[in-house]
Amino acid sequence: MNWTCLLGFHKWNRNACSVCGKTRVSGQTDYPKDDDGDVLRLLAKHGADMSRTMDIDFQIAVPDEKSGVSIAELATERGYKTTLYQDEESGEWTCECTKSMLATYDTVTLGQKELNQIAQPYNGKCDGWGSCGNT
């Protein structure tokens, strides 16, 4: 079975990457069976070193640019790097909030909770997260 690494250019063949030789984490990681747990399992499966920090990108759906700017300012004060953008096709606004952290179930769920608390007064909502890993 072949796997593509999170960066998109490494190819996994069995348990090692054919480009860099890095060995995939073997065994199943114990995460809850929900969306957050699924993403964490996927990161580990594709070779992310879960004992090292990685950039986690949280997506906040925002109703408009003004709300997005306010949310971005508050998130920046809490240590997030922020980017505000509008989807060209749908016109929807997103504030991406990135922070380097250990990718654990607790850290990603607490990050979402923190960002929801920031976004709620502006009718924004954390709409998921992702990472390119750290390989």
Task: Please state, in angstroms and as integers, the Cα–Cα distance from residue 22 to each residue in 16, 18, 19, 96, following that order.
Answer: 6, 8, 8, 30
Q: What share of the chain has pLDDT > 90, as a percent?
A: 71
Please tell me the pTM assigned to this model.
0.77
Which amino acid makes up residue 98?
T
Residue ranges for the chain with pLDDT beneath 50 = 1-12, 23-28
Task: Tell me the pLDDT of the chain averaged across its residues.
Answer: 84
3-state secondary structure (DSSP) of residue 103: coil
3-state secondary structure (DSSP) of residue 108: helix
Question: Per-domain residue ranges for the chain?
Answer: 53-130
Architecture of the domain whose range is 53-130: 2-Layer Sandwich (3.30)
What is residue 135's predicted lDDT score, i.e. its pLDDT? 72
